[in-house]
Amino acid sequence: MAADAVGCGAVSAARAPGDAGEVARYFFRLGCIAFGGPAAHIALMRRELVHQRGWVSDGEFLDMLGVTNLIPGPNSTEMTMHLGHRRAGLAGLWLGGLLFLLPAVVIVTALAWAYVRYGSTPAGEGILLGAQPVVLALILHAAWGLTGAAFRGFESLVVVTAAAALAVAGVSEVALVLGAGVATAVAAVLVRALTREARRNLPGLPRAGGHWWRLPRQRSASSRGRRTRALLPPVAPVTLAAAGSAGGATTAGIFLGFLKIGAVLYGSGYVLVSFMRGEFVERRGWLTEGQLLDAVAAGQVTPGPLFSSAAFAGYVMDGFPGALAAAAGIFLPSFLFVMAAAPLVPRLRSWPPGSAFLDGVNAAAWALIVVVGVDLARATLTGPFAWGLFAAALAAAVATRVNAAWLVLGGVALGLARAAAG
């Protein structure tokens, strides 16, 4: 679709089923250039899939983002699954997620091979020097563009203000997002129940299970069964992983250990560090503290989610089988959770309390994007080169429809040139 085909035509096109090959090509390319962390990945997807390709609207995009904040796993990776599912069904969900992850896992595994063979990893200063200011500009541009979808009234402003303040104070992202959704839903129910005018405008209430405050029924029992089964698998790995061997590293033990982590890990990718340390350094003794830090460093200088650090750690523990087992274990729960959650997003939006819940979740998610952007700005904009690159990228994002991949790659090239020049 042409870049200027945005608006009613683009939104209509988004309703039609897409081609699985289109999903595969887009997310593989994104996985190759997705530097900068989950906020940057989400900004890239929003710019290209909402405004340039019209797969979904801003409101639908923010609904998906809100739901990903409520389930374990890496948010940006789960967004690729949601968007792939919306575009091409179940095949799109799996292709979008797998091909987004593939470049990161391959590159991190190659770095782990070099690390084990030669004892060091490439630092990647030039890549980070050029990529970080660009992705920061894309994050802030995305936050600005999502204001219309995030702000639905005065209550949204209250939620954003409270969520931002609590996030700065260190409150968990999950508690913020869930609390915002519940508070907004409860407020909406109370207002509707107490307002006489609202009561007069309510449709007649069916006698058998049709009340407005109840979630709409599923169309078929088979779809309920599929969702229930999709929710069950992540529960078992927690018990299985706990029974894993604490002796020498095994492929099965690596898989089950990371499967347990992936099934319960909320928050940013950096939270993964504490989970990996507890599981593989302290409890099992399969990694050293230095190896853990090197794994995280490898995840930071490669595209894709920081969760790909698991592949590095898996390779250090058990070679190529360990890398594959770690990657499969850490990401499999996300696929299962999204399979269960994706059909619920449109149903929640059509249910009055659910719609209010999503409004609260979206306002809190928007506040978190802004807080992350401000934190990244403090760490990234440390000199004239970074400030100049940030300003140029932000101007290009606002004034043109140039593909975000070219902006990131251009920043990487300038960063490498700057690093080579000393």
The verdict on residue 316 lying in a domain is: yes
The verdict on residue 216 lying in a domain is: no
Using the predicted structure, report yes or no on whether residue 167 has a pLDDT greater than 70: yes
pLDDT in tens, 265-282: 765 555 577 678 878 988
Using the predicted structure, report yes or no on whether residue 49 has a pLDDT greater than 90: yes
Contacts 24+ apart (CB under 8 A), 376-382: 376/37, 376/39, 376/132, 376/136, 376/139, 377/136, 380/132, 380/133, 380/136, 381/133, 381/136
CA distance 245 to 366: 42
The verdict on residue 237 lying in a domain is: yes
**Stretch 88-108: mean pLDDT, rounded?**
94
For the chain, how many structural domains are there in total? 1
The verdict on residue 405 lying in a domain is: no
Lowest model confidence (mean pLDDT) among 37-46, 167-176, 202-211: 202-211
The verdict on residue 397 lying in a domain is: no
The verdict on residue 286 lying in a domain is: yes
CA distance 37 to 376: 10
Mean residue pLDDT of the chain comes to: 76
Percent of the chain scoring above 70 in pLDDT: 75
Lowest model confidence (mean pLDDT) among 147-156, 209-218, 413-422: 209-218
Confidence band (pLDDT; 50, 70, 90) for 313?
A: very high
Using the predicted structure, report yes or no on whether residue 232 has a pLDDT greater than 70: no
**Stretch 333-360: mean pLDDT, rounded?**
81
Contacts 24+ apart (CB under 8 A), 382-389: 385/129, 385/418, 386/129, 386/132, 386/133, 387/133, 389/130, 389/133, 389/134, 389/414, 389/415
CA distance 284 to 246: 5
One-letter amino acid at 247 equals G
122: left (phi over 0), alpha (psi -120 to 50) or beta: beta
The verdict on residue 260 lying in a domain is: yes
CA distance 176 to 357: 13
Tokens matching residue 370: 């802004």
pLDDT computed for residue 303 by the predictor: 84
| Pair 148, 58: CB distance under 8 Å | yes
Q: Which domain holds residue 247?
A: 229-337
pLDDT in tens, 351-373: 777 777 777 877 887 887 788 77
pLDDT in tens, 277-296: 878 988 889 998 778 877 87
pLDDT computed for residue 173 by the predictor: 66
Confidence band (pLDDT; 50, 70, 90) for 3?
A: very low
Using the predicted structure, report yes or no on whether residue 221 has a pLDDT greater than 50: no
Tokens matching residue 31: 């996985």
The verdict on residue 174 lying in a domain is: no
pLDDT in tens, 381-390: 888 998 999 9
Using the predicted structure, report yes or no on whether residue 235 has a pLDDT greater than 60: no
Q: Mention every residue, 6+ apart, whose C-beta is less than 8 A from residue 237.
A: 256, 259, 260, 263, 329, 333
Helix/strand/coil (H/E/C) assignment for every residue in the chain: CCCCCCCHHHHHHHHCCCCHHHHHHHHHHHHHHCCCCHHHHHHHHHHHHHHHCCCCCHHHHHHHHHHHCCCCCCHHHHHHHHHHHHHHHHHHHHHHHHHHHHHHHHHHHHHHHHHHHHCCCCCCHHHHHHHHHHHHHHHHHHHHHCHHHHCCCHHHHHHHHHHHHHHHCCCCHHHHHHHHHHHHHHHHHHHHHHCHHHHHHCCCCCCCCCCCCCCCCCCCHHHHHHHHHHHCCCHHHHHHHHCCCCCCCCHHHHHHHHHHHHHHCCCCCCHHHHHHHHHHHHHCCCCCHHHHHHHHHHHHCCCCCHHHHHHHHHHHHHHHHHHHHHHHHHHHHHHHHHHHHCCHHHHHHHCHHHHHHHHHHHHHHHHHHHHHHHHHHHHHCCCHHHHHHHHHHHHHHHHCCCCHHHHHHHHHHHHHHHHHHC
pLDDT computed for residue 123 by the predictor: 52
